[in-house]
A and B are shown apart, each in its own frame.
Chain A
Amino acid sequence: MSELLAAREVTLAYDGATVARDVSVAVPAGRVTVIIGPNACGKTTLLRALARLLAPKSGNVVLDGKDIRRYGTKEVARRLGLLPQAMTAPFGITVADLVARGRFPHQELFRQWSPADEEAVQAAMRLTRVTALAEREVDELSGGQRQRVWLAMVLAQQTPLMLLDEPTTYLDIAHQLDVLELCRKLNREEGRTLVMVLHDLNQAARYADHLVVMKDGAVVAEGAPADVLTVELLARTFALEARIATDPVSSTPMVIPVASLERHD
């Protein structure tokens, strides 16, 4: 199993406060990797480091066999796209214009909009089913539509690798599923390698090929969901007493919470 992206013993810190220490994680090519963990375990921080938004204090991030810092900024952006949690749609921007901004890493100072750019934008909008919304303003859309538009923008970047930080936040359950199905489609049909941070354990179990579990800034388990998700692991990392059944739809592990083991005293 070849790895497209990997963190090698990275220590991550914000202004001196260490968030993760000596973390190593590998993202297998052509798979969906999902990172889970309790709040403040460092999963978003790890994703930021993998996307080169945060420079590790020590260790390095390797992209396609080369230290990510040795690529140019636009070079990285042609290989790796990111959907963060916080983004701003400029007031009055249309869907088509926002998606088109994903083409930035493919453009040069004096190069005009090319047929390849146009094709990438159209394909991204088709895949995310926002073509019909192309001329609408982003502010007028519903939360689910808006998230699909942002996904389209990242898709238009045409990167083999996509990192998504909680792409289902603020969406109702049906739209959460819609986004996750779309992500799976991108992986299965487009062959894109995905890394997602997810909150919901059952969704993680259902959509991950490769599950990474983090706690207190360290990776505590890694592997196929069926191997990783155990009663013992849930107790240890999430302070959760739970049973594990088999998801009748996807045959993946399904976590049924029983009680919180967190003692509030």
Chain B
Amino acid sequence: MARRPLVVVASVALLAVLALLSFAVGTKPLAPSTTWDAVFDFDPANADHLLVRYLRLPRTALALVVGCCLGVAGAVMQALTRNALADPGILGVNAGAAAAIAAAIAFFGVTNVTSYMWFGLLGAALAGLAVFLLGGMRRGSSPVRLVLAGAALSIVLLALTQVIIVNSEETVFDQFRHWTVGSLQGRGTGVVLPVSLLALVGVGTAFGLAKALNAVVLGEEVGRSLGTDPVRVWSLTALVVILTSGAATAAAGPVGFVGLTAPHLARFVTGPDHRWVLPVSMLFSAILVLGADVLGRVVAPPGEVGVGIMVALIGGPFFVYLVRNRKLVQL
């Protein structure tokens, strides 16, 4: 597949263009020269420079990190469960983060994103862990059991979240509502930095798993006879999903769909080798998230549309087109 390196280069170039757009586009549009100066010739007295430096730069970075996280999480989930419809959300990670953040806002009066991100992360980790244990990591890997455990736990957690929200004051509902649509707005370095670190560990682990996943997707027995250790692969995959998907969800709210779509697109252009699927899925997912965020800032002036909504609005029809017009790339 000679086109694989080409795809990577083209994706990186597209991401660079989107990043520059992301610096320039917003409620207050800026000239490209201004954004260039803000990055490379920063003047602390210039309000435009401050806007780029302290709002748009971290926001763009977060979009990239969240995108990478969701793409990798989706790709490893689909490989492990051998289910082309697996999405990081089915592990209960989103529901766990939602329940924890609802509790944080309602019971602990946490009101800023940087603080409740940690609750989200904890909730995502606990939920993911519970699903992997319930899903029978010890009784031999059964993808179906895992998916069922995830669905069951998600329903319970969602009900708990609703109980908390319904019985709280209106301000709690309002706070939670903003988190729940998925947004990258107003996340500073305090969010970007820890999320990036977690993402780095998660993505690194995923890349280390690529060859093992290539063996595992051939079927449980083939995978094991080739020398993969199921408990090890499952644990490490759980770690990857919890770290990446948990970090992304805690930081940006539940952004669905990307984790499902990006790996499909990646497999479509690279073929089924995970040494390529993982990085390409990561790049495609980052393009989707950053592109959706930039677009969300211009479609409804003077307000903006959250990235979670934008991703679904753009991605949904595109995915339908893909399914109807091309051979859907299965596992």
Instruction: Give the interface segment out of B11-19, B119-127, B215-223, B301-309.
Output: B215-223
User: Once the chains bind, are A74 and B225 in contact (CB under 8 Å)?
Assistant: no
Contacts of B217 in A (CB 8 A): 88, 90
Closest to B222 in A: A87
Residue A170 at the B interface, CB < 8 A?
A: no
Could you tell me the distance between the alpha carbons of A93 and B82 in the complex, rounded to whole angstroms?
15
Could you tell me the distance between the alpha carbons of A82 and B215 in the complex, rounded to whole angstroms?
13
Instruction: Give the interface segment out of A61-69, A100-108, A171-179, A224-232.
Output: A100-108
Residue B162 at the A interface, CB < 8 A?
A: no
User: Once the chains bind, are A84 and B271 in contact (CB under 8 Å)?
Assistant: no
How close is A52's CB to chain B, nearest CB, in angstroms?
A: 8
How close is B207's CB to chain A, nearest CB, in angstroms?
A: 10
Contacts of A89 in B (CB 8 A): 218
Contacts of B329 in A (CB 8 A): 91-92
User: Once the chains bind, are A104 and B227 in contact (CB under 8 Å)?
Assistant: yes
User: Once the chains bind, are B214 and A104 in contact (CB under 8 Å)?
Assistant: yes
Contacts of A93 in B (CB 8 A): 271-272
**Which parts of A22-73 form the interface with B (CB within 8 Å)?**
48, 51, 53, 73
User: Once the chains bind, are A53 and B225 in contact (CB under 8 Å)?
Assistant: yes
- Asked whether A84 and B273 contact (CB < 8 A) given A90-B218, A91-B331, A92-B329, the answer is no
- Asked whether A104 and B226 contact (CB < 8 A) given A90-B272, A91-B272, the answer is yes
User: Once the chains bind, are B218 and A109 in contact (CB under 8 Å)?
Assistant: no
Interface of A, secondary structure class, is mixed
Residue A81 at the B interface, CB < 8 A?
A: yes
* Contact pick for B82, options A48, A88, A94, CB 8 Å: A88
- Asked whether A51 and B225 contact (CB < 8 A) given A90-B217, A93-B272, A97-B273, the answer is yes
Could you tell me the distance between the alpha carbons of A78 and B227 in the complex, rounded to whole angstroms?
8
- On chain B, the number of residues with a Cβ less than 8 Å from chain A's Cβ atoms is 24
Contacts of B330 in A (CB 8 A): 90-91
Could you tell me the distance between the alpha carbons of A101 and B330 in the complex, rounded to whole angstroms?
18
Residue A76 at the B interface, CB < 8 A?
A: yes
Contacts of A76 in B (CB 8 A): 227
Residue A77 at the B interface, CB < 8 A?
A: yes
* Contact pick for B219, options A51, A84, A157, CB 8 Å: A84
Contacts of A53 in B (CB 8 A): 221, 224-225
User: 1/0 per position for B192-230, CB-CB distance to A under 8 A?
Assistant: 000000000000000010011011011101101111110
How close is A69's CB to chain B, nearest CB, in angstroms?
A: 13
User: 1/0 per position for B233-273, CB-CB distance to A under 8 A?
Assistant: 00000000000000000000000000000000001000111
With A97-B272, A98-B218 known, 18 other A-B pairs at CB within 8 A are A53-B225, A73-B227, A77-B225, A82-B222, A84-B221, A86-B219, A87-B218, A88-B82, A88-B217, A88-B218, A88-B331, A90-B218, A90-B330, A91-B267, A91-B329, A94-B271, A104-B214, A107-B211
Residue positions of A touching B, CB distance < 8 A = 48, 51, 53, 73-78, 80-82, 84, 86-94, 97-98, 101-102, 104-105, 107, 109, 157
14 intermolecular pairs with C-beta atoms under 8 Å apart:
A53-B221, A73-B228, A82-B222, A88-B82, A88-B217, A88-B219, A88-B222, A90-B330, A91-B272, A91-B329, A93-B271, A104-B211, A104-B226, A104-B227
